């Protein structure tokens, strides 16, 4: 049970830092936690796929979560930009 609490706390911190890096205002406690937790899965998958390893412990988990959260935010912005451009063309 303690690992789950750490997982959520690291996710919250990673989501908050990722939002700051991407020049956002954050998404609130639960939004940052969701971004960070999803980022942990994405970062873990990416690091495994690229055969990249990090240090063990909280530092490695934070790096992995932060990397995945930044990738998630970049992809989200890209989708939003494309969607906005596509829908604005329909109304002209």
Q: What is the pLDDT of residues 47-87, one digit of tens each?
A: 999 998 888 888 888 999 999 999 998 888 889 888 888 88
**What pLDDT is stored for residue 23 in this prediction?**
81
> Please, how many CA atoms are within 13 Å of residue 62, restricted to the half-sphere of its CB?
11
Question: What is the pTM assigned to this prediction?
Answer: 0.82
**What pLDDT is stored for residue 25 in this prediction?**
65
pLDDT over 70, % of the chain: 95
Rounded Cα gap, residues 26 and 7, in angstroms: 19
Q: How many CB atoms lie within 10 A of CB 63?
A: 16
Rounded Cα gap, residues 59 and 78, in angstroms: 29
Q: Residue 91 — pLDDT band, cuts 50, 70, 90? A: low
Q: How far is CA 46 from CA 6, 42, 50, in A?
A: 21, 6, 6
């Amino acid at each position: 049970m303690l690992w789950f609490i750490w997982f959520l706390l690291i996710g919250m911190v990673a989501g908050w830092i990722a939002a700051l890096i991407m020049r956002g205002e954050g998404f609130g406690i639960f939004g940052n936690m969701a971004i960070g937790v999803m980022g942990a899965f994405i970062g873990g998958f990416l690091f495994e796929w690229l055969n990249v390893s990090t240090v063990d412990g909280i530092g490695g988990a934070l790096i992995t979560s932060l990397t995945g959260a930044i990738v998630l935010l970049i992809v989200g912005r890209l989708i939003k930009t494309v969607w906005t451009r596509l829908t604005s063309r329909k109304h002209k």
